Amino acid sequence: MSRFTYAVAGAVLLAACGGPGSDAPTNASIDDFCAAKSWFVAEGTDLFFASGLPSDGELVELTHEWASELARVGTPDNMSADARAGFEKLIDRLEDMEPGDVEERGFNWEDGEWEDDEEKSFARYVTNTCP
């Protein structure tokens, strides 16, 4: 599996502090939510595997676009408050990404801040809800 794929997989599970995601809708269909969750992988595959792996700047730009897509779609109404808070933190972290946060095409999220109960709850929700 490529480093890009690991970065994409890791990005789905990692998060940070709430903000712009708090305005995201709370009535998304599960299908739309899961499609938004997978948007990064689909767009990354289309954009970069055809022309080679992205630069750090391109990866960060794609990450910012993914944050916008997640915020546009929002979350289903059956998501717990903790999972929703983890979702909001993920959007913040994605929006705050800069090229210096990328190491060898993987995100440098070794600070451990994404490992609280809210982020774990969001990761469990995604794992149990989306194929």
39-73 residue pLDDT tens: 887 777 777 667 777 777 888 888 899 999 999 99
Confidence at 12, pLDDT banded by 50, 70, 90: very low
By mean pLDDT, which of 2-11, 14-23, 48-57, 59-68 is the weakest?
2-11
77-97: average pLDDT: 92
pTM (global) more than 0.95 = no
Contact 116, 73 (CB under 8 A): no
